[in-house]
Homo-oligomer: A and B are copies of this chain.
Amino acid sequence: MSVSDESLMSASNAAQGERFTDGARSFEGRLLQRTLARLGNPEVEFTLWTGERIAPRGVEPVCRVRIPRRATLVSILANPGVNFPDAYCDGHIEIEGDLVRLLEAVYLAGERAPVPSMLERVLGRIRRPHVNTLAGSRANIHHHYDIGNAFYQLWLGQTMAYTCAYYPTEQTALDQAQLAKMDHVCRKMRLRPGEHVVEAGCGWGALALHMARHYGVKVRAFNISREQIAYAREWAKRDGLAGEVEYIQDDYRNITGHYDAFVSVGMLEHVGVDNYEGLGAVIARCLGANGRGLIHSIGRNFPAPMQPWIEKRIFPGACPPSLAQMARIFEPHNLSILDVENLRLHYAQTLRHWLELFELAGDRVQQMFDARFVRMWRMYLAGSIAAFTTGTLQLFQVAFATPHNNDVPRTRAHLYVP
């Protein structure tokens, strides 16, 4: 989970002298030391099969990593961003200390890293993520979301909401925070009974049900994940809301009809920046004169590719946008951005709650899959916590309206009534 991709900001922070690691004697040890320098010298101690101890100079390491075999180190040195997390998943390295703190150290170091070489930049451009054509999106979404609803039920909580929750207080529990997020989203759109809402990327369907149940709206909810749609339809039937919520197994690009509001929570990461203007065209076409909507997405402070291990193993085709990139949805269609809220630290908290539940269900997960899968998912959740706490990732909720909609709330005070 290293971050040569994270080093765009590094020029001004490249002074590294005082942090240099030390202790290498062998050729491999010196190579590791050089690679760590290139990654901004994370505050992590490494011990090798040779007995060498390579530690940051003058600071206490936040975590210790043991690399017991030469072949593992060679692989990590060749492509640390992918092969270090892979080595953890394969059980080829041992980590002593807190995984989240290790990954935070790696992310923070990435910002201090020297500017990538010309060769690295060229390679970075060649390495294209999985594309999001209609068929490509189906394959990408299937990879992550169709590995079994039973698995996700172990650690997502009652709502099965697989997106950043909203914590009004530090003590709010996961399920309450997910419901608070749904209310926060609905209030931002100021939904009124009888209105029609279209949802793009509805996950297991909780938000659509919540809108219908508590705000009296009719919802058409789109998703290309077969398993999620099946689960959502069953849930709507069980709760007697099948007449209010229609789940449609189709791509957001095929949305038809006219609606009062458009909402999408946690789909944009999978859309791909090249498709944003097209997404905006879908929104503009399906909203009426007093239309409004909300898009909730993981984002970044500046454009950068997805961490390569996450893109390869967890979310093929995913790319969290910067706010300027998100604006490509709205600006070509004269849609008016009303409100942006950054919920970065709420996502760190959500992920901590998920990771707790995941660890509690570790034995069950291992029975369902295997030990490698458990480590992979732990790496992904811990790495995501680290990305949000270090500001490597952001979470943007963007509320918007059609350009002449003057029936928008004067202030945001209505979001904060208890």
A residues adjacent to B (C-beta < 8 A)? 9, 108, 111, 166-170, 301-303, 322-324, 327-328, 330-342, 344-346, 389-391, 394, 396, 403-406, 408, 410-413, 415-416
Contact = CB atoms under 8 A, between A and B. Distances in A.
Contacts of A340: 337, 339-340
B416 A301 contact: no
A415 B339 CA distance: 14
Contacts of A390: 404
Contact of A302 (B302, B332, B344, B410): B332
Contacts of A405: 391
Contacts of A324: 323-324, 327-328, 331
A334 B416 contact: no
A359 B170 CA distance: 52
Nearest to A349: B410
Contacts of A9: 333-334, 403
A43 to B, nearest CB: 14
Most buried by B among A166, A405, A410: A410
Nearest to A13: B334
A301 B389 CA distance: 31
A167 B413 CA distance: 12
Contact of A403 (B168, B301, B337): B301
A336 B341 contact: no
Contacts of A342: 336-339
A335 B416 contact: no
A416 B330 CA distance: 28
Contacts of A344: 336
The winner among A322, A328, A340, A344 for most chain B CB atoms within 10 A is A340
A327 B301 CA distance: 9
Tell me the dominant secondary structure on chain A's binding face: mixed
Contacts of A404: 108, 390-391
Contacts of A338: 341-342
Contacts of A413: 168, 416
A137 to B, nearest CB: 25
A98 B159 CA distance: 54
Pairs A-B, 8 closest by C-beta atoms: A340-B340, A324-B327, A302-B331, A391-B403, A324-B324, A413-B416, A9-B334, A338-B342
A410 B345 contact: yes
A339 B301 CA distance: 13
A14 to B, nearest CB: 14
A224 to B, nearest CB: 28
Contacts of A415: 412
Contacts of A335: 301
A332 B166 CA distance: 29
Contacts of A331: 301-303, 322-324
Contacts of A389: 406
Given A167-B410, A330-B301, A412-B416, A394 B323 contact: no
A395 to B, nearest CB: 11
Contacts of A168: 410-411, 413
A390 to B, nearest CB: 7
B403 A411 contact: no
Contacts of A301: 330-331, 334-337, 403
Contacts of A169: 410
A62 to B, nearest CB: 15
Contact of A406 (B170, B332, B345, B406): B345
A416 B410 CA distance: 13
